[in-house]
């Protein structure tokens, strides 16, 4: 089979399309013929070894100290079940599925445990749309619903509102009843407004958050703000929530967790089949929709990575694999 392989850390050009052995199946695995997969900021971090401040060594130990342990990137995918292990009961050959794997999705075939965060793909979604869901939708659900616990009528600022997580965060915050402000560049103002933002801030024309704005939550999805810088714009009991917290921010979260006043909260998102079902339910109800920046053929995988590296993509970058 063909796969997008990287054998060293570096820029987009380290990724090559090569012929590799089809993954071996275990008794509890599902073999998926991948039709579409997303290229996310997580893929960028792994490929470029660009881990958040203070986590470089931890990141390298996780993915490979000297060279990548798993040379095939890609977590979010959509495709058709080609084969099932004898212990698998949730899926059958021919099922259209989508979900998230620990890696290896940028290939024609992917072996993933039958218990993985994976569900049946609704007929109303294309494979490209389905592959755009897991990373962004799961993250938005985890950070806004579970960590921040957004309530109706709260004022929420989403920084990076047109990105892979931001587009979902704007829509979900609006669905949860918040008054949503999205911060983005000039070219994305119309998109963010179409996603349901009540207000849109063009960060190229002025500050992201005006002092005294009294936001109940500032959710930074791209890492361009600080707690200190956002404090003047937070309400008295407001929360600053970075998507990728640094070591310093984790310490700040500990110190501000107790008592009253403005707080920094930190957390991580975890994929689950239940959250995917929730996201699909909201999509089918018209509350959420996938946003795709561009679909690239496998032969243009380097261009897909470059687009993610630019930090200017709108929603998800997708690779078509079959």
Q: What is the mean pLDDT of the chain?
A: 94
DSSP 24: P
Given a cut of 90, is residue 233 above it in pLDDT?
A: yes
Domain 2-133+290-320 classified CATH 3.30.465.10?
A: no
The model's pLDDT over 6-58, given as tens digits with 9 standing for 90+, comes to: 999 999 999 999 999 999 999 999 999 999 999 999 999 999 998 876 777 78
- Alpha carbons within 13 angstroms on the beta-carbon side of residue 299 total 0
> What pLDDT is recorded for position 206?
76
> What pLDDT is recorded for position 64?
85
**Domain coordinates of the chain in residue numbers?**
2-133+290-320, 136-264
> What pLDDT is recorded for position 254?
85
The model's pLDDT over 98-131, given as tens digits with 9 standing for 90+, comes to: 999 999 999 999 999 999 999 999 999 999 999 9
> What pLDDT is recorded for position 149?
96
Same fold, 2-133+290-320 and 136-264: no
The 3-state DSSP class for residue 272 equals: coil
Residues 6+ positions from 304 with CB-CB distance below 8 Å: 39, 294, 296, 317, 318, 319
Angle (nearest 5°) at CA 198 between 277 and 140: 30
CATH placement of domain 136-264: 3.40.50.720
The 3-state DSSP class for residue 176 equals: coil
The structure tokens listed for 202 are 């063009």
The structure tokens listed for 104 are 């290896």
């Amino acid at each position: 089979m063909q796969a997008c392989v990287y054998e060293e850390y570096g820029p987009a050009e380290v990724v090559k399309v090569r012929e590799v052995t089809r993954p071996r199946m275990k008794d509890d695995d599902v073999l998926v013929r991948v039709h579409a997969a997303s290229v996310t900021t997580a893929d960028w971090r792994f490929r470029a070894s660009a881990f958040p401040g203070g986590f470089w060594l931890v990141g390298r130990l996780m993915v490979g100290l000297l060279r990548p342990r798993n040379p095939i990137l890609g977590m979010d995918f959509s495709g058709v079940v080609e084969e099932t292990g004898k212990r698998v009961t949730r899926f059958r050959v021919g099922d259209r599925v989508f979900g998230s794997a620990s890696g290896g999705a940028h290939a024609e075939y992917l072996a993933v445990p039958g218990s993985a965060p994976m569900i049946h793909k609704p007929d109303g979604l294309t494979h490209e749309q389905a592959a755009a869901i897991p990373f962004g939708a799961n993250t938005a659900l985890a950070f806004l619903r579970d960590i921040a616990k957004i309530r109706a009528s709260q004022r929420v600022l989403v920084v990076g509102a047109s990105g892979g997580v931001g587009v979902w965060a704007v829509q979900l915050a609006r669905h949860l009843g918040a008054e949503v402000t999205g911060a983005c560049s000039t070219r994305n103002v119309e998109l963010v407004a179409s996603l349901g933002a009540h207000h849109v801030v063009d960060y190229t024309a002025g500050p992201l958050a005006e002092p005294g704005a009294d936001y109940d939550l500032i959710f930074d999805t791209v890492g361009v703000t600080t707690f200190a810088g956002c404090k003047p714009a937070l309400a008295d009991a407001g929360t600053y929530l970075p998507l990728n917290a640094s070591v310093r921010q984790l310490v700040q979260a500990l110190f501000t967790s107790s008592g009253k006043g403005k707080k920094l909260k930190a957390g991580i998102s975890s994929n689950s089949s239940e959250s995917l079902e929730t996201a699909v339910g909201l999509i089918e109800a018209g509350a959420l929709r996938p946003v795709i920046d561009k679909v690239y053929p496998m032969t243009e995988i380097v261009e897909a990575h470059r687009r993610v590296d630019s930090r200017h993509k709108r929603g998800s970058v997708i690779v078509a694999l079959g």
